[in-house]
C-alpha cells in the first residue's frame, strides 16, 4: 500500500504515523519524492484503504497492484542507486564488474585485477565458493580465496563481488566482501535470501535458470523485506530449447525490469552465452538496451581456468570491449569513466582540508545538461552546487568556493559556446578534464497536452536551433527563450497550461511531465562537450590532450610558423578556432586543442618554441580526453 501524505505533514506526525503502522505489523518505508511525501507499507494483514486514509497525515491510500511491493516502481518511482564504496550502480556512469569465474590462486588473481582495473572495471568478481553442477568439479578455494580477494581490494581499490552459497557463510561475507552475489541456482533459496537480507551489504541477485521476471522480483522482495534495499538485479541468461549458446540472454528483461522496478539491472553476457566470441556483442547490446552495467569473466590464461574458461575474455578482448562501450555509452545517456576510482580518491582528502571545498559548480538548474555533465564526470557522490551564469561558475572556482566547475564549450552541430571561450581567456583557471554528452531533445508537456493544440514552446535558444527542422513544421508556435532546458520544462509544469510545451531532456528530477514527442533534434548525432575547470587541481589519469590560446604578430606566415611546430613534432591538432581580440579589431586569438600532454617534461622544448613564435601565449591545461589509447 502507498500512503500519500498531506503537504503540510510535520516530521513528528510522520514519526507517529510510522509507529502506529509498525505496531500493526506493517513494514514501513519512507520514500523521499521531490514533490510528494510517501510512505510505502507492506505487511501480511492489510486493512481497507479507508482505514489508512483516516489516520492523521494520510491524504490518500493507493494499493500496489503487483505481488512484489517494496521493489516495485509503483511504490518508488525514482530509480535506486546502490553504492559500493565510491561506485554507484544505477546512476549515470556504467559500472563494469570483471574478473575470473573463480579465485584460483594469488598471483593470477592479482594480475587479472590489475588488468581489468586498468581497462576500466570498477568492481572485481571472483568466486571462492563455486556452485558446480558436478560434485567432482572445482568447488572454489573457500576462505583462502576470500583472503586473496581482500588483497585485491587493498592493492587495487576495487570492491569485491563474490558468491555466497549458504547462510553459514554470512560471517565470512561480512568480513571480506563488498557485494554478495546470489547465484542463478540459488535464486529461490529463500533461507539464503533472508540471510543476505539481514547482512546489510549490497546483493547481486542473479536471475534463476528458468525463473520468470515476476519470480525473480519476488526473490528480490525477500531481501528487501528483511530490511536490505541494496539489491542489484543481474540478467544472466535463461534456459530455453536453444542449445547453441549455454543459455539464452533475455535482453528484453532490461527494459521490462526498468519499468517494473526501481532497482538497477546489470547483464552477465559470459554465463548467458558461454562462448567467448559471443560475449562482447551481447555486452554491447546490453548497454544499448539500457543496462546499468555488466559483469564479465576475464582470465589471463582461460585455457587453463578451473571453471568457465571457454567464456572468459582474454585481457585484450576486454580492453577492446571497454573501448567500444566508451563510444556507445553516451548514445544511451551514460558514460564509461576510466578514472572513476582515481577521481574519487582525489576528491576525498580535499574534504575538511584547507583547500577549496570538494564541491563542483555548474550553471543551470538540476536536470539541466550541465547538471548531467557533472554527474557523469564526478558521479553523484560529490556535492554539486548550481549558480545562474557561466561567469559565476568561473568566479566561484577562482575564489576557491568550489574546487571544480563544469561549463559547455562546444556543440557538434551549432559550434563553440563563445562566452566560455572568452572566460577561459579572461580567468587564470585550468582545464582539468572534459566530458561529452549526447543531447537528445524531447517535446515535453503536461500529460493532458496535445501537439496540435500547442501555442507556445519554451527552451534555450541553442535547443531551438538544434530542433530547427521540427520547429519549421510548426510555424504557428511562439518560441520563447529560457535560461536552460530544465527551467523551460519547470516553467511549463508550473503554468499547468496544456497549450504550452518545452524542449528539453525531461530528466528524472522533473516528474509529472509527459514526452509529447521524443527525439526532435534535427540530427541525432548531437553532442555537447563540457570542460571541467579548476584553479590548480589536476585530475588523475594520463593526460593526453592539451588546450592553449595564443596570438601571433600581424605578418605573413606568422600562424603558419606556429602550426609548423606541431607538424614537425608529430602533434595532432584536434581543434583550431579563432576568436576576435576585443580591443583590437580584426585581430584574433587562436584556441588550439592538441592531442598530447604539452606540459610534459619532454614537450617543454615545444612549449618554449611556441612562446617564441607567439605574441601572447596561455596554457589552459592538460587533461584526459577519456579514451584509452595512451594507457
Residue nearer to ligand PEP on the CB measure, 236 or 529: 236
Interface positions, 208-227, toward Mn ion (CB under 5 A): none
What is the Cα 572 distance to its own chain's centre?
30
Q: How far is the CB of 286 from Mn ion (least distance, A)?
A: 17
Q: Which helix (H) or strand (E) holds 619?
A: strand 616-623
Rounded Cα distance between 342 and 500, Å, is: 45
127 or 264: CB nearest ligand PEP: 127
Out of 206, 276, 438, 613, name the contact with ligand PEP by CB under 6 A. 206
User: Which of Mn ion, ligand PEP, none sits in contact with 545, Cβ below 5 to 8 A by type?
Assistant: none
For Mn ion, the binding residues in 511-570 under the rule CB under 5 A are: none
State the Cα–Cα distance between residues 305 and 316, nearest whole angstrom. 17
Residue indicated by cell numbers 511504490: 75
CB of 207 to ligand PEP, least distance (A): 8
- CB of 132 or CB of 391, closer to ligand PEP: 132
Could you say which of ligand PEP, Mn ion, none residue 206 binds, taking C-beta under 5 to 8 angstroms by partner kind?
ligand PEP
Q: What are phi and psi of 445, to 5 degrees?
A: -150, -175
Residues 6+ apart with CB under 8 A from 325: 94, 96, 120, 283, 284, 287, 294, 336
Scan residues 61-80 and list those touching ligand PEP (CB under 6 A): none
Question: Containing H/E element for 83?
Answer: strand 82-84
Q: What DSSP string runs through 509-550?
A: TS-S-EEEES---S-S--EEEEEEEESS---SS---EEEEEE
- With 0-12 CB in 10 A as exposed, 13-18 as middle and 19+ as buried, what is 56? exposed
Q: Which is nearer to ligand PEP, 130 or 613 (by Cβ)?
A: 130
List, in order, residues 6 or more apart from 55 with CB less than 8 Å away.
3, 17, 20, 21
Of 437, 379, 416, 438, the residue nearest 547 (C-alpha) = 416
**Which one, 236 or 258, has the nearer CB to ligand PEP?**
236
Q: How far is the CB of 510 from ligand PEP (least distance, A)?
A: 38
Residues shown for the chain: 631
Judged by beta carbon, residue 207 or residue 440, the one nearer ligand PEP is 207
Asked if 101 is part of the footprint of Mn ion (rule: CB under 5 A), the reply reads yes
302 binds ligand PEP, rule: CB under 6 A: no
Q: At its nearest, how many Å lie between ligand PEP and the CB of residue 305? A: 11
**Could you say which of 40, 91, 127, 506 contacts ligand PEP (CB under 6 A)?**
127
The CA R_g of the chain, rounded to the nearest whole Å, is 27
Query: Which among 93-101, 324-332, 516-524, 531-539 is the span making contact with Mn ion, rule CB under 5 A?
Result: 93-101
Q: How far apart are CA 464 and CA 484, in angstroms?
A: 11
Q: Residue 271 interacts with ligand PEP (CB under 6 A)? A: yes
Closest contact distance (angstroms) between CB of 152 and ligand PEP is 16
Answer yes or no whether residue 184 interacts with Mn ion by CB under 5 A: no
CA–CA gap between residue 260 and residue 606 (Å, rounded): 57
100 binds, among ligand PEP, Mn ion, none (CB under 5 to 8 A by kind): none
Site for Mn ion in 449-508 (CB under 5 A): none
SS3 call for 171: helix
Q: Is residue 101 close enough to count as binding ligand PEP by CB under 6 A? A: yes
Q: Please say which residue, 296 or 321, places its beta carbon nearer to ligand PEP.
A: 296
Q: Contact between 299 and ligand PEP (CB under 6 A)?
A: no
178 binds Mn ion (CB under 5 A): no
Query: Which does residue 276 bind out of ligand PEP, Mn ion, none, counting CB within 5 to 8 angstroms by kind?
Result: none
Active-site annotation, residues: 528, 530
Total binding residues toward ligand PEP, as defined by CB under 6 A: 8
List, in order, residues 6 or more apart from 405 with CB less than 8 Å away.
360, 361, 362, 393, 394, 396, 397, 429, 532, 533, 534
Q: Map residues 156-195 to x or -, x wherever contact with ligand PEP holds by CB under 6 A.
A: ---------------------------xxx----------
Closest CB to Mn ion: residue number: 101
Residue 140 interacts with which of ligand PEP, Mn ion, none, CB < 5 to 8 Å by class:
none
Kindly write out the interface string for residues 234-253 of this chain, putting x where it contacts ligand PEP by CB under 6 A and - elsewhere: --x-----------------
Q: 396: which 3 cell numbers?
A: 566561484
- Whether the CA torsion 517, 520, 525, 530 is positive or negative: it is negative
Cell digits of residue 187: 535464486
Which residue stretches of 351-417 are H helix?
369-378, 390-398
Query: Which of residues 211 and 446 has its CB atom nearest to ligand PEP in the complex?
Result: 211
Partner that binds at residue 236, options ligand PEP, Mn ion, none, CB closer than 5 to 8 Å by kind:
ligand PEP
Window 300-319: residues binding Mn ion (CB under 5 A) = 308
C-alpha grid cell for residue 519?
527525439
384-387/360-363 β-pairing = parallel
Smallest gap from residue 337 Cβ to ligand PEP (A): 24
Q: How far is CA 458 from the centre of its chain?
A: 28
When the beta carbons of 40 and 140 are compared against ligand PEP, the nearer one is: 140
Contact between 233 and 221 under an 8 Å Cβ cutoff? The reply is no
Cα distance between residue 566 and residue 284, in whole Å:
37
Say which entry of Mn ion, ligand PEP, none residue 117 contacts (CB below 5 to 8 A, set by partner kind). Answer: none
Q: What are the residues binding Mn ion (CB under 5 A)?
A: 101, 308
User: What residue ranges bind ligand PEP (CB under 6 A)?
Assistant: 101, 127, 183-185, 206, 236, 271
Amino acid at each position: 500500500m502507498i500512503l500519500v501524505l498531506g503537504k503540510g505533514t510535520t516530521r513528528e506526525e510522520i514519526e507517529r504515523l510510522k509507529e502506529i503502522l509498525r505496531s500493526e505489523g506493517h513494514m514501513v518505508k519512507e520514500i523521499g519524492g521531490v514533490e510528494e511525501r510517501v510512505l510505502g507499507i507492506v505487511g501480511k494483514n492489510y486493512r481497507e484503504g479507508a482505514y489508512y486514509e483516516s489516520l492523521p497525515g494520510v491524504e490518500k491510500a493507493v494499493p500496489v497492484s503487483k505481488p512484489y511491493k517494496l521493489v516495485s516502481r509503483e511504490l518508488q518511482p525514482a530509480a535506486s542507486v546502490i553504492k559500493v564504496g565510491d561506485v554507484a550502480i544505477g546512476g549515470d556512469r556504467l559500472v563494469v564488474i570483471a574478473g575470473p569465474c573463480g579465485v584460483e590462486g594469488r598471483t593470477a588473481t592479482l594480475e587479472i585485477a590489475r588488468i581489468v582495473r586498468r581497462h576500466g572495471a570498477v568492481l572485481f568478481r571472483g568466486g571462492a565458493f563455486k556452485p558446480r553442477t558436478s560434485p567432482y568439479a572445482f568447488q572454489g578455494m573457500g576462505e583462502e580465496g576470500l583472503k586473496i580477494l581482500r588483497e585485491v581490494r587493498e592493492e587495487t581499490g576495487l570492491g569485491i563481488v563474490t558468491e555466497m552459497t549458504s547462510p553459514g557463510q554470512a560471517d565470512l561475507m561480512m568480513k571480506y566482501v563488498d557485494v554478495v552475489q546470489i547465484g542463478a541456482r540459488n535464486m529461490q533459496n529463500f533461507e539464503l535470501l533472508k540471510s543476505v537480507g539481514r547482512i546489510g551489504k549490497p546483493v547481486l541477485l542473479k536471475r534463476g535458470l528458468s525463473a520468470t521476471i515476476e519470480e525473480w522480483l519476488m526473490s528480490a522482495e525477500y531481501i528487501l523485506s528483511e530490511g536490505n534495499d541494496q539489491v542489484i538485479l543481474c540478467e544472466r541468461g535463461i534456459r530455453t530449447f536453444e542449445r547453441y549458446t549455454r543459455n539464452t540472454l533475455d535482453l528484453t528483461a532490461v527494459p521490462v525490469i526498468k519499468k517494473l522496478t526501481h532497482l538497477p539491472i546489470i547483464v552477465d553476457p559470459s554465463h548467458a552465452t558461454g562462448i567467448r566470441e559471443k560475449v562482447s556483442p551481447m555486452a554491447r547490446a546490453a548497454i544499448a538496451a539500457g543496462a546499468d552495467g555488466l559483469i564479465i569473466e576475464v582470465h589471463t590464461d582461460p585455457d587453463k581456468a578451473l571453471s568457465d574458461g571457454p567464456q572468459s575474455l582474454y585481457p585484450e578482448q576486454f580492453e577492446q570491449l571497454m573501448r567500444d562501450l566508451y563510444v556507445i555509452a553516451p548514445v544511451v545517456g551514460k558514460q564509461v569513466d576510466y578514472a572513476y576510482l582515481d577521481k574519487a580518491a582525489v576528491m576525498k582528502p580535499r574534504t575538511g582540508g584547507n583547500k577549496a571545498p570538494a564541491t563542483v559548480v555548474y550553471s543551470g538548474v538540476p536536470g539541466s545538461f550541465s547538471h548531467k555533465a557533472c554527474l557523469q564526470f564526478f558521479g553523484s557522490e560529490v556535492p554539486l552546487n548550481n549558480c545562474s551564469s557561466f561567469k559565476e561558475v568561473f568566479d566561484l572556482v577562482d575564489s576557491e568556493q568550489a574546487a571544480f566547475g563544469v561549463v559547455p564549450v562546444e556543440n557538434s552541430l551549432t559550434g563553440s559556446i563563445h562566452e566560455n571561450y572568452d572566460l577561459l581567456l579572461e580567468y587564470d583557471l585550468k582545464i582539468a578534464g572534459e566530458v561529452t554528452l549526447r543531447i537528445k531533445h524531447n517535446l515535453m508537456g503536461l500529460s493532458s497536452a496535445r501537439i496540435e493544440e500547442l501555442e507556445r514552446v519554451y527552451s534555450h535558444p541553442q535547443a531551438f536551433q538544434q530542433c530547427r527542422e521540427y520547429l519549421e513544421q510548426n510555424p504557428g508556435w511562439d518560441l520563447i527563450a529560457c535560461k536552460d532546458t530544465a527551467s523551460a520544462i519547470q516553467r511549463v509544469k508550473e503554468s499547468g497550461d496544456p497549450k504550452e510545451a518545452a524542449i528539453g531532456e525531461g530528466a528524472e528530477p522533473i516528474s509529472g511531465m509527459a514526452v509529447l514527442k521524443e527525439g526532435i533534434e534535427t540530427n541525432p548525432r548531437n553532442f555537447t562537450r563540457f570542460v571541467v575547470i579548476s584553479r590548480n587541481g589536476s585530475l588523475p589519469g594520463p593526460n593526453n590532450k592539451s588546450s592553449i590560446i595564443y596570438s601571433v604578430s600581424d605578418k605573413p606566415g606568422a600562424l603558419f610558423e606556429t602550426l609548423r611546430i606541431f607538424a614537425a613534432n608529430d602533434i595532432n591538432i584536434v581543434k583550431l578556432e579563432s576568436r576576435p581580440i576585443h580591443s583590437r579589431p580584426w585581430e584574433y586569438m587562436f584556441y588550439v586543442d592538441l592531442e598530447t600532454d604539452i606540459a610534459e617534461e619532454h614537450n617543454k622544448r615545444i612549449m618554449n618554441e611556441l612562446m617564441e613564435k607567439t605574441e601572447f601565449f596561455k596554457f589552459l591545461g592538460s587533461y584526459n580526453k577519456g579514451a584509452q589509447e595512451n594507457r
